[in-house]
Amino acid sequence: MPLESRPLSPETWPAFARLVEKHHGIFGGCWCISFHLHEGEGKRGAAAYRAMKEDLVRRDRAHAAMIFDGEEAVGWCQFGRTDELPNIKSRKAYEEHLGRLPDWRITCFFIDRDRRHEGIANRALDEALREIGRQGGGTVEAYPETVAGRKVSGSFLWSGTTAMFERRGFRRDRPIGMHRWVVVRRISAGPPRPKGGRAARAARPPRPLSRSRTTARRAPE
């Protein structure tokens, strides 16, 4: 069965929740909420984060390009308007040379531990960029890491790699950490999401995915 892309929504929330629960809340109960938090909101427990995330989804304030194998989600790429994702890592370094805020941010990826190194993160990124185009496009920032010359566990590359983004036309703007960069690209407005089906397939056919692609430097692909 080919993989399909569906947006995070109230309809896909149960599949999103199942994947998070399979991984014990992700990073100790994050529930993919960290980038939504405003300064001073403080630490909360996993149950509170789950409720916050579901509320944001139901209010159309949380977005992700989810990848499905049948009815089960196998990964996603989170994106959103800057006001939806106000919290970023390395904020002091980020703001030091900030000119203007982007229209969109791509903040993180998550892939089912049983499906890593199959190209799913790449597929999710392509779908996120397509969805940004469908929603009007604009300037997009992401905050990936360079991995050349070092070994990094894929589970820690939740922001993706610079190579992933550069292959899609992003340019490095400035470093904000020892290995982390701000990368930028402008996305043109695209056609709306196709209607008439529960699951929208990608405009391009996916590349064949193989479980044999296990190179650490390409993680979390």
Q: What percent of the chain has pLDDT over 70?
A: 85
pTM of the model as a whole: 0.84
Instruction: State which fold the 4-194+209-218 domain adopts.
Output: Aminopeptidase (3.40.630)
User: Where are the chain's structural domains?
Assistant: 4-194+209-218
Confidence of residue 206 (pLDDT cuts 50, 70, 90): very low
Instruction: Write 95-103 long-range contacts (CB < 8 A, 24+).
Output: 97/174, 102/138, 102/139, 102/140, 102/141, 102/184, 103/137, 103/138, 103/139, 103/140
Cα angle 40-108-126, degrees, rounded to a multiple of 5: 145
What was the pLDDT predicted at 216? 33
| Chain mean pLDDT for the chain | 86
Distance CA 56, CA 75 (A): 19
Confidence of residue 27 (pLDDT cuts 50, 70, 90): confident
Cβ-contact 89, 179 below 8 angstroms: no
Q: Per DSSP, which regions of 33-137 are E strands?
A: 63-69, 72-81, 104-111
Confidence of residue 106 (pLDDT cuts 50, 70, 90): very high
Comparing CA positions, the residue from 84, 171, 54, 75 lying closest to residue 125 is: 75
**How confident is the model over 190-203, as pLDDT tens digits?**
888 776 544 444 33
The angle, 0 to 180 degrees and rounded to 10, between the axes of the packed helices 13-22 and 46-58 is 160
Rounded to 5, what percent of the chain is helix, strand, coil? Answer: 30, 25, 50
Burial of 42 (0-12, 13-18, 19+ CB in 10 A): exposed
What was the pLDDT predicted at 205? 38
Q: What percent of the chain has pLDDT over 90?
A: 67
